[in-house]
Structure 1
Amino acid sequence: MHDFVNTIFDYLSQLGYFGILLGLMVEVIPSEIVLSYGGFLIYQGQINFFGALVAGIIGGTIAQLFLYWIGLYGGRPFLDRYGKYLFIHSKHLDSAEKWFNQYGTGVIFTARFIPVVRHAISIPAGISKMPLSTFVLYTLAAMIPWTILFLLLGMQLGQHWDKIEEYAKPFMLPIILIALLAGVIYIIIAKRKHAKKA
């Protein structure tokens, strides 16, 4: 498996920016690992930070759009039957649907930073027919800090970029707490607006 992953990264490094974009679109390997490898390529001088940032944001957003469209056109029955082939497990989808139904559209931003639900949250957005423009806006807003963080960590780690999961742990808790706080603020504002309309 390790050799297989290394082969993929060798291929992606030859593609440069498009390799980062492709790696995030397909998402066979977690986005944080692909982006940290992008940071390593920046460290080596093969690509520059701005180009990697743009590729990361676009690739990550397209990956979520695919999941949104699967939810929109396939729905839950399709995912219950074929989700395992897309690495989407029912328990992750259940959690994502619970989050989406409980917290509304704003969770598309905050859930991007929460383990378990972050990869599946786009699906209930599609199932509920969330406006595409709103979905893309929230997804882009979340992809910017996520991409910056892991590119910078990859640059810092250099040759040891593959240790990203261990190195990123101290950063993840504050990010999760900030995301949750943002979610709470969003819910409060949304409820106040709803109360005024009522």
Structure 2
Amino acid sequence: MGYWGILLGLAVEVIPSELVLAYAGYLVFRGEINFVEAVLFGTIGCLLQQIILYYLGLYGGRTFIDRYGKYLHIKSKHVDMTERWFQKYGAGVVFTSRFIPVIRQAVSIPAGISKMNVIKFLYFSGIASLLWSLLFVALGNNLGENWGNISEKAAPYTQPLLVGAILLFIGFLLYKTLVRKERNRDKTDY
């Protein structure tokens, strides 16, 4: 199915995104599809899935997820954990969570439940989805015929990516804290 298979495979994610994107990279290696378009369709597919989950959280709420989440391969305990992170750390969790298995999908639900601004949600999700797609399409392309070994070959890349995401998130938190302190200082000066 080419590009549409990538998009559909990631929007539905019955097969893990790492495998879909690595296989897309293999197709790039074989010259059957274009690298940039594979990453683009991968990013769009990831975003479609996140938008669906966001709106499930927004309109279905926690009750819907507790009742039907098992059909989406989302366990209540993962939503609980993600919800706590989301409440504690805010929007930055949406970006950082994209690099953590299982939590990657679950974070969109509490974002919807908490009525996070959809533009901000798409922004953080989009950047992380682009990086995720870029990484695994590139790895699949570089592995060529050995694309099936993606799990062992990706580990050295996903760890630094996760650490980088966490560092960016910490920077985001520090920035927010400094802005809040500055605002409070300005209020007390008057």
TM-score by length of 1: 0.90
Runs of 5+ in structure 2 lacking a partner?
185-190
Query: Are residue 40 (structure 1) and residue 21 (structure 2) matched?
Result: no
- The one of 146, 169, 181 aligned to 1:195: 181
Counterpart in the other structure of 2:67: 81
Query: Are residue 59 (structure 1) and residue 45 (structure 2) matched?
Result: yes
C-alpha displacement at 1:115, in angstroms? Answer: 3.0
Count of residue correspondences: 184
C-alpha displacement at 1:177, in angstroms? Answer: 0.9
State the superposition RMSD in angstroms.
1.0
Query: Are residue 109 (structure 1) and residue 98 (structure 2) matched?
Result: no
Equivalent runs, 1:49-198 vs 2, <5 Å: 49-198=35-184
C-alpha displacement at 1:192, in angstroms? Answer: 1.6
TM-score by length of 2: 0.93
For 1:97, give the aligned amino acid.
Answer: E
CA deviation string 1:7-45 (max 9, x = no partner) = xxxxxxxx1111100100111111111000000110111
C-alpha displacement at 1:98, in angstroms? Answer: 1.5
Q: Which moved more, 1:174-183 or 1:110-119?
A: 110-119
Counterpart in the other structure of 1:24: 10
Runs of 5+ in structure 1 lacking a partner?
1-14
Counterpart in the other structure of 2:187: none
CA deviation string 1:74-100 (max 9, x = no partner) = 111111111001100112111211111
Rounded Cα–Cα distance in structure 1 between residues aligned with 2:136 and 2:63: 35
